């Protein structure tokens, strides 16, 4: 036991070393950057501006935008980004359960690979399987989570931001200083599953133009929880095994001001994880021994510079290295246990420019280059490398009540392999148009919509994974249409202080969907471009704010999603025009928060309707609806300069046992306690 721990920490030390080197390099760069102006004040001003703006960012956005910000992130019952994202509409979370279980997101039924995840404006890549495990990202250092269907309407952004059907933007905290030159936040979470989770964020103002932050977190959990399966006759309760998690994250970031018109941001992110892989609970087999180790590190930065009133330039860059090891003691080869190791590298650079032709008319151009490669100790592995070139030309016209934006994205992908065959070159042009129209002068009612043509590239696994990959694969295309409205109003001297409504109807069609089909036997699946899915949906978000008395405030949020996602692959299939797996027709959430003096209370309800776990909509594939009630109670107080917050959570209050993925049970009722300290 101790030996294992030691090995894990040795791993840390190596990584911390790398991170420190990264820091020093960045400081080196900083020396040049110290010139004029007060960064602190600018930051503060921006904060204020952002906060004011934020209230209506969702309403103004031509593409449906949902946002959770700092204060809300702190108080909702969530441990990771994945938990928080359940409160958004249009989203299905594929959750394998527990702290370490894989959690991926499926937006508007198009599949996980169509959602890009951005970390401070730069995409978290995964060339291997194209999916980001949102359970890996904790909320601790995050200031904001935003989900945009379609694409962000920012004018100055990298081409990657145009290159997915939907996107999640994770933003880390930007330091803001008042009278003192540092901020310290420390957190400690503990609770069920043997959870021990200390974390801190330290921010320091080095000079008026430069500030830095360090954020670190450790999560240890045994991942044990009770689950129960019953068919009314048998009734079995057992404890989840092999769900232990050991995770460590260390991040540093620098924020600099170049002159009046420029700023930069650089960060190093490192993540180490050692965990068990809990398997499917099937008859006579409840326990597993498989393990996964992850080492992720990336260094990234961006620089924004304005040249006068008209031109602005943004440069983004990133280097990333990801290592994964998978060990299966139940799979014994000639060399012992199956022990797969994957090394993925990425280099990325993006230049974007925005030019104001007139006060109302802007044009933007963005050009990204990305290099990715993958090594694996697999039999007959191809050792693929991928060069991706993205170029976008975008233009927007903003009148006082009408806004339209159009862009054309060119994607050039070139694959090369060291062995066997490669998928070759691909060139795709993808257009998008977005609009927002404030119909009445006096009312905050906006009509909005977009059309977007996009695709996802086959991943390295799709193309090259030994025995499964098929290099003949084409990209998977998605066409999206969206029409909706937003309405927002605030009232003075009333109990109801605030109303915000967003409603959208959408139609998506996915064609050449990449799906696994059988080869000659169960072990031998092959990827094909076979599926065709027709998706109609509606989303409703309703937020209200209430002032119920002197110090009593209530906020509510309701999300509802309807999705009809039909398989229209082949009229001769028995499941033709049936709902695709894992997509419920109805899902939604309800969130209420009450503030009274130093007390905060939260209640949330999440509902996912019935759905099927395989293609055929028959009883054998039917999955019951699930719904959870979560409660949280928080108390905050100040002691001299320090502020303390105590938060107690009960999750799944009614102890409902359910699966999101069949045979991967979710936890029943569980408790969590958070102590937060700010200086």
Partner 1 sequence: MSKSKIHQLLIVLFVLSLVACRKDPKPLPAEISRVEPEPNSAVKGFYLVNEGNMNMNKASLDYLDLVNGIYTRNLYNQVNPEATKGLGDVGNDIGIYGDKLYVVVNISNKVEVLQVKTGKRIGQINLANCRYVTFNQGRAYVSAYLGKVGDPKAPNGMVAEIDTAKLAINQTVEVGRQPEEMAIVGNKLYIANSGGYSPPNYESTVSVIDLNTFKEIKRIEVAINLHRLKADRYGDLYVTSRGDYYTIPSRLYVVDTHTDQVKKVFDVAASNLAIDGDLAYLYSTEWNYIQGKNTISYHLIDVKNETLLDQKFITDGTEKNIKIPYGIAVNPVSKDVYVTDAKDYVTPGKLHCYNALGKLKWSVATGDIPAHIAFVY
Interface with partner 1 includes 2 (CB under 8 A)? no
Which residues, including other chains, have CB under 8 Å from residue 80's CB and lie 6 or more apart?
Answer: 99, 103, 134, 135, 136, 137, 138, 139
Tell me how far apart the alpha carbons of residues 89 and 379 are, in angstroms, rounded to a whole number. Answer: 42
Beta bridge partners of residue 475, listed in sequence order: none
Hey, what are 536's tokens?
Answer: 């109609």
How many CA atoms does the CB half-sphere of 267 hold within 13 Å? 22
β-strand 91-95 against 103-107: which pairing, if any?
antiparallel
Hey, what are 634's tokens?
Answer: 């928080």
Q: Pick one of 333, 377, 427, 598: the residue that binds partner 1 (CB under 8 A).
A: 333
Provide the minimum distance between the beta carbon of 546 and partner 1 in the complex, in angstroms, as a whole number.
Answer: 7
Q: Pick the closer one to partner 1 by CB: 349 or 472.
A: 472
Binding mask 448-487 for partner 1 (x = CB under 8 A): -------------------x--x-x---------------
Q: Pick one of 574, 577, 638, 679: the residue that binds partner 1 (CB under 8 A).
A: 574
3-state SS class at 571: coil
Tell me how far apart the alpha carbons of residues 303 and 603 are, in angstroms, rounded to a whole number. Answer: 41
Interface with partner 1 includes 281 (CB under 8 A)? yes
Q: Pick one of 236, 377, 418, 427: the residue that binds partner 1 (CB under 8 A).
A: 236
Q: Pick one of 52, 179, 180, 234: the residue that binds partner 1 (CB under 8 A).
A: 234
Q: Could you count the other beta carbons within 10 Å of the beta carbon of residue 126?
A: 20
Interface with partner 1 includes 1 (CB under 8 A)? no
Interface with partner 1 includes 522 (CB under 8 A)? yes
Angstrom CA distances, 247 to 12, 101, 363, stand at 10, 13, 44
H-only helix segments in 352-432: none
Hey, what are 637's tokens?
Answer: 């107080």
Provide the minimum distance between the beta carbon of 123 and partner 1 in the complex, in angstroms, as a whole number.
Answer: 30
Phi, psi of 42 (to 5 degrees): -60, -45
Q: Pick the closer one to partner 1 by CB: 496 or 540.
A: 496
Stretch that binds partner 1, among 75-83, 174-182, 231-239, 457-465 (CB under 8 A): 231-239
Provide the minimum distance between the beta carbon of 483 and partner 1 in the complex, in angstroms, as a whole number.
Answer: 27
Phi, psi of 654 (to 5 degrees): -85, 10
β-strand 166-172 against 115-119: which pairing, if any?
parallel
Tell me how far apart the alpha carbons of residues 211 and 257 are, in angstroms, rounded to a whole number. Answer: 9
Interface with partner 1 includes 424 (CB under 8 A)? no
Q: Pick the closer one to partner 1 by CB: 155 or 589.
A: 589
Provide the minimum distance between the beta carbon of 228 and partner 1 in the complex, in angstroms, as a whole number.
Answer: 10
Binding mask 148-187 for partner 1 (x = CB under 8 A): ----------------------------------------
Query: 135, 101 in Cβ contact below 8 A?
Result: yes
Strands, E assignment, 357-460? 361-376, 384-398, 402-417, 425-438, 445-456
Interface with partner 1 includes 233 (CB under 8 A)? yes
Tell me how far apart the alpha carbons of residues 100 and 664 are, in angstroms, rounded to a whole number. Answer: 12
Provide the minimum distance between the beta carbon of 165 and partner 1 in the complex, in angstroms, as a whole number.
Answer: 24
Tell me how far apart the alpha carbons of residues 513 and 338 are, in angstroms, rounded to a whole number. Answer: 31
Q: Pick the closer one to partner 1 by CB: 2 or 335.
A: 335
Stretch that binds partner 1, among 100-108, 176-184, 228-236, 265-273 (CB under 8 A): 228-236
Q: Pick one of 1, 13, 31, 283: the residue that binds partner 1 (CB under 8 A).
A: 283
Interface with partner 1 includes 231 (CB under 8 A)? yes
Angstrom CA distances, 517 to 62, 113, 186, 392, 577, stand at 38, 18, 49, 35, 19
Q: Pick one of 22, 256, 279, 301: the residue that binds partner 1 (CB under 8 A).
A: 279
Residues 377-416 that bind partner 1 (CB under 8 A): 379-380
Interface with partner 1 includes 447 (CB under 8 A)? no
Q: Pick the closer one to partner 1 by CB: 365 or 607.
A: 607
Query: Contact residues for partner 1 (CB under 8 A)?
Result: 229-234, 236, 279-285, 289, 329-338, 379-380, 467, 470, 472, 495-496, 517-526, 546, 548, 554, 573-575, 586, 590, 592, 605, 607, 609, 613-616, 618-620, 624-627, 629, 656, 662-663
């Amino acid at each position: 036991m101790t030996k294992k721990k030691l090995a894990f920490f040795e791993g840390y030390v190596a990584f911390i070393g790398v991170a420190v080197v990264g820091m020093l390099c960045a400081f080196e760069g900083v020396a040049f950057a110290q010139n004029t102006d007060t960064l602190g004040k600018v930051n503060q001003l921006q904060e204020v501006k952002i906060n004011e703006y934020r209230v209506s960012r969702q309403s103004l956005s031509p593409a449906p935008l949902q946002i959770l910000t700092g204060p809300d992130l702190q108080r909702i019952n969530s441990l990771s980004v994945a938990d928080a994202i359940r409160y958004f509409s249009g989203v299905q979370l594929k959750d394998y359960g527990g702290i370490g279980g894989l959690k991926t997101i499926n937006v508007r039924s198009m599949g996980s690979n169509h959602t890009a995840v951005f970390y401070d404006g730069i995409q978290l890549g995964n060339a291997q399987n194209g999916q980001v495990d949102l359970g890996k990202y904790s909320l601790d250092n995050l200031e904001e989570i935003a989900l945009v269907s379609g694409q962000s309407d920012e004018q100055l952004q990298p081409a990657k931001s145009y290159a997915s059907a939907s996107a999640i933007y994770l933003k880390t905290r930007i330091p803001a200083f008042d009278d003192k030159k540092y901020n310290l936040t420390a957190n400690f979470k503990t609770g069920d599953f043997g959870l021990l989770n200390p974390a801190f964020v330290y921010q320091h103002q080095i000079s008026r133009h430069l500030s830095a932050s360090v954020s670190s977190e450790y999560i240890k959990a045994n991942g044990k929880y009770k689950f129960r399966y019953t068919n009314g006759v048998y009734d079995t309760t057992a404890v989840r095994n092999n769900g232990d998690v050991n995770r460590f994250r260390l991040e540093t970031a620098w924020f600099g001001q170049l002159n009046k018109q420029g700023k930069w941001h650089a960060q190093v992110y490192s993540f180490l994880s050692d965990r068990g892989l809990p398997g499917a609970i099937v008859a006579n087999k409840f326990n597993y021994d498989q393990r996964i180790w992850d080492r992720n590190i990336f260094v990234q930065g961006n620089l924004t510079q304005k040249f006068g009133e008209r031109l602005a330039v943004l440069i983004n860059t990133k280097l990333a290295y990801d290592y994964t090891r998978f060990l299966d003691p139940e799979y014994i080869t000639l060399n012992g246990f199956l022990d797969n190791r994957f090394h993925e590298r990425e280099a990325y650079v993006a230049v974007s420019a925005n030019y104001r032709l007139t006060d109302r008319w802007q044009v933007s151009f963005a050009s990204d280059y990305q290099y990715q490669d993958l090594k694996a100790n697999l039999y007959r592995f191809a050792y693929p490398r991928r060069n991706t070139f993205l170029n976008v030309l975008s233009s927007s016209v903003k009148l006082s009540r009408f806004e339209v934006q159009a862009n054309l994205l060119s994607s050039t992908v070139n694959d090369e392999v060291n062995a066997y065959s490669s998928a070759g070159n691909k060139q795709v042009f993808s257009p998008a148009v977005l609009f927002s129209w404030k119909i009445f002068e006096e009312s905050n009612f906006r009509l909005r919509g977009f059309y977007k043509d996009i695709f996802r590239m086959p991943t390295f696994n799709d193309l090259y994974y030994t025995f499964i990959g098929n290099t003949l694969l084409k990209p998977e295309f998605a066409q999206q249409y969206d029409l909706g409205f937003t309405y927002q109003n605030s009232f003075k001297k009333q109990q109801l202080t605030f109303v915000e409504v967003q409603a959208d109807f959408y139609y998506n069609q996915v064609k050449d969907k990449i799906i696994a089909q059988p080869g000659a036997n169960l072990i031998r699946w092959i990827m094909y471009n076979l599926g065709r899915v027709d998706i109609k949906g509606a989303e409703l978000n309703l937020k209200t704010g209430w002032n119920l008395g002197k110090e009593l405030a209530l906020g509510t949020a309701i999300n509802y999603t309807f999705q009809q996602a039909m398989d229209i692959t082949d009229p001769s299939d028995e499941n033709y025009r049936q709902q695709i797996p894992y997509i419920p027709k109805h899902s939604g959430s309800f969130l209420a928060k009450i503030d009274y003096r130093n007390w905060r209370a939260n209640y949330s309800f999440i509902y996912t309707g019935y759905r099927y776990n395989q293609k055929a909509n028959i009883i054998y594939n039917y999955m019951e609806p699930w719904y959870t009630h979560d409660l949280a109670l928080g108390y905050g107080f100040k002691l001299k300069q320090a502020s303390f917050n105590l938060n107690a959570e009960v999750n799944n209050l009614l102890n409902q046992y359910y699966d999101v993925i069949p045979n991967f049970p979710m936890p029943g009722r569980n408790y969590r306690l958070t102590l937060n300290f700010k200086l």
